[in-house]
Amino acid sequence: MLGKWSDCQFLVGSENNQQTLACHKIILAMASPVFETMFFGSFNQKDDPILISDVQADAFKALLEYIYTDKININNVDKAFDLCYAAKKYMLPFVVDQCTKFLWSDLCPKNACRAYEFAKLFEEPSLQEKCLQIICTKTMDVIGDPSFAEVELS
């Protein structure tokens, strides 16, 4: 990805954890209608580097890995959440599906509340229902996990 013939750069991540990533407009545009519009459509992006502060650097790298190599590497729930957000933002439905499948496969009492928040935010009703089943049937395990304290009250 980096290096030879790259024609755009992204400054990705929050202020404390930003990374610059060099890319190729044509490859990104072929993969995503959002990138196509960004580079060649009515919202032609002139800034360089292009600031993307709402996506974590690791998630954006994983998104680029998929675009460039057709491979997805999801190894934990947090990465699945962050990558799914980026995939929705850049309209890559296959990546969204893979993130959701990973969450299904890793669903347990310790992450059921966070997965429920994710499912609600990204409108995944079947995942929401499965999370609620775990929350209702294994309530003591759910509230006994330290991650329960980080859950949104709503």
How far apart CA 5 and CA 41 sit, in angstroms, is 21
Which is it for strands 8-12 and 19-23: parallel, antiparallel or unpaired? antiparallel
Q: DSSP characters for 90-130?
A: TT-HHHHHHHHHHHHHT--TTTHHHHHHHHHHTT-HHHHHH
- Report percent pLDDT > 90 for the chain: 55
Whether the per-residue pLDDT at 20 is higher than 60: the answer is yes
Confidence (pLDDT) at 67? 97
pLDDT tens digits, one per residue of 112-153: 888 888 888 888 888 899 999 999 999 898 888 777 777 776
Using alpha carbons, list the distances in angstroms from residue 149 to 103, 142, 144: 20, 10, 9
Give the global pTM. 0.82
pLDDT tens digits, one per residue of 76-98: 888 999 999 999 999 999 999 99
Name the residue among 18, 19, 22 with its Cα closest to residue 8: 22
Name the residue among 141, 70, 154 with its Cα closest to residue 112: 141
Confidence (pLDDT) at 15? 83
